Amino acid sequence: MVDRPDYRTWRDVPPMPVCWYPSALGNPTGGWRTYRPVIHMDKCIHCAQCWQGCPDAAIHWVDDSPEVDYEQCKGCGICAHECPVDTIEMVLEVKE
């Protein structure tokens, strides 16, 4: 088991290096996603581990809750892996 810090909310996370221009901003990758993350807000503890782990800045905070930008999300699953309470489920993408 991985030893994780006990952050109560994203505001408790210490300052860290951040990439302000993620690679996906100029090249949306949502079109080739196979699985997409679904955040179950009833289980979310607002720890921001998903936001920190997302390599393409596809997770944003809206009203103190994480929200996925599916235009930028490539479906890598890092957010689901980093979530300490298994709030994020990776579900098969259904194309219309």
**Rounded-to-integer distance, Cα 16 and Cα 12, Å:** 12
Decide: 43 and 50 in contact? Cβ < 8 Å: no
C-alpha 95 chain-centroid distance = 21
Answer whether CATH 3.30.70.141 is correct for domain 1-10+32-96.
Answer: no
Structure confidence at residue 96 as a pLDDT band (50, 70, 90)? low
What tens digit of pLDDT does each residue of 46-95 get?
Answer: 999 999 999 888 999 898 899 999 988 999 999 999 999 999 999 998 87
Query: d(Cα 17, Cα 2) in Å, to the nearest integer?
Result: 22
Q: What is the model's pTM? A: 0.70
| Sign (positive or negative) of CA dihedral 22, 14, 16, 90 | negative
* Domain parsing of the chain, residue ranges: 1-10+32-96
